Amino acid sequence: MRNFLVLLLLCGLAFLGYQTIGTTWAAPPEQGDAGPGEGPDGTSTKLVQNDGATAPNGDLHPKVQPVVHVGQTPPNGARERYTGAVAAAAGGDNAALTAATAAFCRGNAADLGDVLAAGVARLAEAGRLSDAIVAAGDDNRLLRATGLAVVQESLLRAMERASPTERAELLSSWVDLITRGPVRVWRANYPVLKQAYIALQRALEGVLFDRNGTWRSRLHKVRPGESLARIAIDFEKETGLPMAAGLLRRINGIQDPKLLQAGVRLRIPTDRIHVIVEKSTYSLKVYLGSLVVRLYQVGLGKDGRTPEVEFSLSEKQNKPDWTEPRTGELIPYGDPRHLIGDYFLKLSHPVHDGFGLHGTADKGSIGQDSSMGCIRLRATDMAAVFDYLPRRAKLVVRP
Q: Does residue 352 share a domain with residue 281? A: yes
201 domain-assigned: no
Residues with Cβ within 8 Å of residue 148, at least 6 apart in sequence: 113, 117, 142, 189, 192
| CATH number of 309's domain | 2.40.440.10
Q: Which of 99, 21, 104 is nearest to 60 (CA)?
A: 104
Give the Cα separation of 287 and 158 in Å (integer): 24
Q: Please report how the helices 148-159 and 190-207 are oriented relative to each other, as an axis angle in degrees rounded to 10.
A: 10
Is the distance from CB of 308 to CB of 398 less than 8 angstroms? yes
For residue 255, which phi and psi values (nearest 5 degrees)?
-75, -45
The residue range of the domain holding 342 is: 273-398
157 domain-assigned: yes
20 domain-assigned: no
Is the distance from CB of 314 to CB of 307 less than 8 angstroms? no
Q: Does residue 350 share a domain with residue 327? A: yes
- The alpha carbons of the chain give a radius of gyration, in whole angstroms, of 28
Q: Does residue 234 share a domain with residue 378? A: no
Q: Would you put residue 44 in left (φ > 0), alpha (ψ -120 to 50) or beta?
A: beta
CA 101, 105, 109, 111: dihedral to nearest 10 degrees?
60
Q: Would you put residue 296 in left (φ > 0), alpha (ψ -120 to 50) or beta?
A: beta
Domain count, the chain: 3
* pLDDT reported for residue 58: 36
Asked if the model's pLDDT at residue 393 lies above 50, the reply is yes
3 domain-assigned: no
196-221, pLDDT tens digit by residue? 999 999 999 999 999 999 999 999 99
266-319, pLDDT tens digit by residue? 999 999 999 999 999 999 999 999 999 999 999 999 999 999 999 999 999 999
Asked if the model's pLDDT at residue 391 lies above 80, the reply is yes
Q: Does residue 176 share a domain with residue 52? A: yes
Q: Does residue 255 share a domain with residue 289? A: no
Q: Does residue 52 share a domain with residue 157? A: yes
Q: Does residue 146 share a domain with residue 35? A: yes
Place 76 in a pLDDT band, splitting at 50, 70 and 90. Answer: low
Q: Does residue 117 share a domain with residue 76? A: yes
16 domain-assigned: no
